[in-house]
Amino acid sequence: MTLSHGSLVTIDDLSNAEIEAVFSLADEMAGEIDKQLDVCKGKIMASLFFEPSTRTRLSFEAAMHRLGGNVIGVVDAKATSLAKGESIADMARIVGSYADIIVIRHPWEGAARVVADYSGVPVINAGDGGHQHPTQTLLDLYTIKKERHAIQGLNIALWGDLKYGRTIHSLIFALAKFGANILFCPSPGLEVPPNIVRKLITEYGGEIESKEETADRNKEGSFPIDAVYITPSSPHQLAMMPDVNIEVELRKGVDALYVTRPQKERFAEGEDREDKELPVVDKRLLRGKEFKKALVMHPLPRVDELAYDVDADPRSRYFKQAAYGVPIRMALLALLLDCKECVVKEDVVSAKGYDYPVYDRGYAVKCPNPVCVSVQETETKYLKPEFKIVNRDPLTLRCVYCEHGFEPGYVASVDWHEGKLDTKKYHSADSHFARKIKPGNLVLFDSESEARELGYKPSSYVKHASSRK
């Protein structure tokens, strides 16, 4: 059996059973890492890294060499025709005609999705802006599994930049899929984005409890936890789940502390913060009783958030974690290239495949995320904005490329004006009238001026911008 999705763009592309199958093959390959030279003989991997990387690029390239395949690649956008204004789609078509598989890292969120849509070969997302980094997640889960033998029911604390950390975003969904409890310990101002929290609750079925601000929250040496997510291990368990309780969870201790650096390169203007505000994981913090059995993990690179005095601590696992990148990526390449088959056991715990209506009318409303691939000048010539309608009250859209969520301000219906200009009206998206419009008939606008420019007039169900909250 092969993997059901031909590409790995987000962690949702793999079921739990498929992830387990990747782990089994990685175990097999790690045992005889220098004896796999026939597995991908004659295959070519294109390694396209348009952002800095040490671990991901080199471990992918080492993996392909270990499998007997060949590697072509670029490490600088300026060295490709993207610098001349070529679109991602055109580049993808060309590279797809030279290589059998593409590994891409790009600063635009959703870029890997576009490459997967246009290249005609399997594509692996090696990090797209602050969106996701699914292969890092595979080796993170593999590390936890190796050390703790299971993931379900573990307490995993996520520390640092939970806002821009792409490894965090894919790991959150993977931990939820496997039934772990997640303790959020963000640096101040770098909390998990609302669209990720929404998806976690609505699609993974758990509950979140936020911790009240307490006096000791930012005290030196304290554990700055701000919320806990508890996943149900089966759908019916949620109904029986007692109140989520941070103190009770903490009494059980932390099984793994996953530390991340502040992703300063992604901070918005004016968001740069003093380094002294960022809590540090060091020997002193790890003396806390909640960390007695905690594995200390980090996707690396680190800067100041993880002290060097932890390296010699028997709980540190980050160098081992990075080393697992080679067998994990060997297994993934071999499976996506159909050079190996895997046994995929029936899925027991997996995310529910949500089938949201799609809005793809392609005008007036665009993704508000400035680093989304769909809003870049070179890409708007061919990419039509496309959104999943993930909620009707309040009306909430999720971009199919970067998964950024937002609430459009104004709506109309295609079938209510029937070509008569005097009935071509727009309404506030939060009015009860707007909620009656069928998803397939919706026309969305970011602002009243956009609606007016397209010939719509305000209905009585319009709250003007100045009176909207």
Residue closer to ligand CP (CB basis): 13 or 128: 128
Residue 222: count other Cβ atoms within 10 Å of its Cβ. Answer: 14
Q: Rounded to the nearest whole angstrom, what is the least distance from the CB of residue 265 to ligand CP in the complex?
A: 11
What is the distance between the alpha carbons of residues 97 and 113, in angstroms, rounded to a whole number? 18
**46: enclosing H helix or E strand:** strand 44-49
Residue closer to ligand CP (CB basis): 119 or 260: 260
Q: Which stretch binds ligand CP (CB under 6 A): 10-18, 54-62, 347-355, 396-404?
A: 54-62
Q: Identify the three-state secondary structure at position 245.
A: coil
Are 357 and 388 in contact by the 8 Å Cβ rule? The answer is yes
Q: Identify the three-state secondary structure at position 41.
A: coil
> How many residues of this chain bind ligand CP (CB under 6 A)?
10
- Using CB under 6 A as the binding rule, whether residue 54 contacts ligand CP is answered as yes
Are 110 and 372 in contact by the 8 Å Cβ rule? The answer is yes
Q: Which stretch binds ligand CP (CB under 6 A): 53-61, 221-229, 390-398, 401-409?
A: 53-61
Residue closer to ligand CP (CB basis): 23 or 60: 60
Q: Applying CB under 6 A, which of residues 53, 380, 391, 431 lies at the interface with ligand CP? A: 53
Residue closer to ligand CP (CB basis): 103 or 339: 103
What is the distance between the alpha carbons of residues 146 and 123, in angstroms, rounded to a whole number? 27
Binding mask 374-413 for ligand CP (x = CB under 6 A): ----------------------------------------
- Using CB under 6 A as the binding rule, whether residue 210 contacts ligand CP is answered as no
Q: Applying CB under 6 A, which of residues 55, 146, 198, 366 lies at the interface with ligand CP? A: 55
CB neighbour burial string for 369-404, b if at least 16 within 10 angstroms, e if fewer = bebbbbbbebbeeebebbbbbbeeeebbbbbbbbbb
Smallest CA-to-CA distance from 338 within 67, 126, 103, 58 is with: 67
Residue closer to ligand CP (CB basis): 22 or 375: 22
Are 86 and 92 in contact by the 8 Å Cβ rule? The answer is no
Binding mask 271-300 for ligand CP (x = CB under 6 A): ----------------------------xx
Q: Applying CB under 6 A, which of residues 15, 36, 47, 56 lies at the interface with ligand CP? A: 56
The Cα-based distances of 403 to 199, 331, 338, 373 in angstroms read: 10, 27, 29, 11
- Using CB under 6 A as the binding rule, whether residue 447 contacts ligand CP is answered as no
Residue 468: count other Cβ atoms within 10 Å of its Cβ. Answer: 13
Place of tokens 């690029």: 57
Q: Rounded to the nearest whole angstrom, what is the least distance from the CB of residue 463 to ligand CP in the complex?
A: 45
Q: Cα dihedral sign for 122, 128, 134, 136?
A: positive
- Using CB under 6 A as the binding rule, whether residue 463 contacts ligand CP is answered as no
What is the distance between the alpha carbons of residues 456 and 334, in angstroms, rounded to a whole number? 54
Residue closer to ligand CP (CB basis): 135 or 413: 135
Q: Rounded to the nearest whole angstrom, what is the least distance from the CB of residue 388 to ligand CP in the complex?
A: 27
Q: Rounded to the nearest whole angstrom, what is the least distance from the CB of residue 183 to ligand CP in the complex?
A: 21
- Using CB under 6 A as the binding rule, whether residue 136 contacts ligand CP is answered as yes
Q: Rounded to the nearest whole angstrom, what is the least distance from the CB of residue 224 to ligand CP in the complex?
A: 23
User: Which residues in 304-333 contact ligand CP (CB under 6 A)?
Assistant: none
Q: Summarize as ranges the residues that interact with ligand CP (CB under 6 A).
A: 53-56, 127, 133, 136, 299-301
